[in-house]
Amino acid sequence: MPIVSLKEIVDRAFQERYGVPAVNVFNDLTMQGVLDAAVEVRSPIIVQTSVKTVRSIGTKVLFSMWQSMTADIEVPVALHLDHCPDRDVISECLAIGWNSVLFDASALPVAENQRQTIEVVKEARGYGAHVEGEIESITGVEDGVGSDQTAARQTLDVSLAFIEATGVDVFAPSIGNAHGVYTSKPTLDFDRVSDLVAAHPLPIALHGGSGMTDAQFHDLIQRGCSKVNISTALKMTYLQSTLANLRLAEQADKWDPPTLFRAVSGDVVDLTRGLARTFGSAGKAW
């Protein structure tokens, strides 16, 4: 199965009402673990990279990793640049091979956000790539992007006008979700997703998925959330697994990095496998 477009992945999920895990990776181990899990459970997968990861590893090295790991991939996969407010980074990633981007201009006035998003969509189309858009900041800071201040929500009419004017392929509304770790069960505006989809049938991106309940996921996916973002959960799994296995190494006084890598990779695979099953994408590869 060759690499496919974000649009093809989320459009199928939207039509059949399942969610596709969109997982933010940050090194070779997490990228390989996420892909391995997708192959194991026959799930489409969206591999996401933050601007911070792109800058720390470099676009050429990161994309070479992607090419190597997906050369003979057996499930539909897409490479997505997450929450990027920097037009230069978007241009660089599109030029080298990312096939979708989230242009995050939510800090700008809606009119300016819309104007620039139209430009980004036009640029992406030149590469055969697709675009996710948003007009409201998702509460919380993710890899240096965002704010802990709760952003004002726009009206349904403003959101629909943005979607129609820009031609974005996926839309990410604020529904009470947040990046980072929830301190209590989030109170979500489920009807906002339903209202958007009823007025303009378009795949919805659910941000801040780490920490939501299975029941919340299932409800939102049935309403049209086809792309489900997971970042914090993978970071926690990776670091907690690393810490636990380093403590075991210390106790045994055996310092073997490949043993650590295998253990952490196994936990990354377990997490991703579970996400695919929870979101209903397991077995949906084509």
CB atoms within 10 A of CB 160: 17
* Residue stretches of the annotated binding site for dihydroxyacetone phosphate: 180, 208-210, 229-232
Does 86 qualify as catalytic in the annotation? Answer: no
* Phi, psi dihedral angles at 253 (to 5 degrees): 55, 45
Segment (H or E) for 99: none
Predicted confidence at residue 210, as pLDDT, reads 77
The identity of residue 224, as a single letter, is: G
Fold of 6-279: TIM Barrel (3.20.20)
Strand boundaries in the chain, DSSP class E: 20-24, 45-49, 77-84, 100-103, 130-133, 140-142, 145-147, 170-171, 204-206, 225-230
CA distance linking residue 6 with residue 29, whole number of Å: 23
**Token code pair at residue 262:** 């295998």
pTM (two decimals)? 0.92
* Residue stretches of the annotated binding site: 83, 104, 134, 179-180, 207-210, 229-232
Determine the straight-line distance between the first and last CA of the chain, rounded to whole angstroms.
Answer: 8
Domain layout of the chain by residue ranges: 6-279
Strand boundaries in 144-241, DSSP class E: 145-147, 170-171, 204-206, 225-230
**Going by C-beta distance under 8 Å and a sequence separation of 6 or more, which residues neighbour residue 284?**
12, 13, 16, 18, 42, 43, 44
Predicted confidence at residue 151, as pLDDT, reads 60
Q: Based on the number of CB atoms within 10 Å of its own CB, is 246 exposed (0-12), middle (13-18) or buried (19 or more)? A: middle
Predicted confidence at residue 71, as pLDDT, reads 96
Predicted confidence at residue 222, as pLDDT, reads 98
* Residue stretches of the annotated binding site for Zn(2+): 83, 104, 134, 179, 207
Predicted confidence at residue 46, as pLDDT, reads 98
Predicted confidence at residue 146, as pLDDT, reads 46
* Whole-number Cα distances in Å, 20 to 26, 39, 82, 214, 240: 19, 13, 15, 14, 25
Render pLDDT for 94-137 as a digit per residue (tens, 0 to 9). Answer: 999 999 999 999 889 999 999 999 999 999 999 999 999 999 86
Per-residue pLDDT of the chain (286 residues; tens, 9 = 90+): 679 999 999 999 999 999 999 999 999 999 999 999 999 999 999 999 999 999 999 999 999 999 999 999 999 999 999 999 999 999 999 999 999 999 999 889 999 999 999 999 999 999 999 999 999 866 545 555 544 566 678 899 999 999 999 999 999 998 876 655 655 566 788 999 999 999 999 999 999 877 788 999 999 999 999 999 999 999 999 999 999 999 999 999 999 999 999 999 999 999 999 999 999 999 999 9
- In the set 82, 143, 169, 267, the catalytic residue is 82
Strand 140-142, strand 145-147: pairing: antiparallel
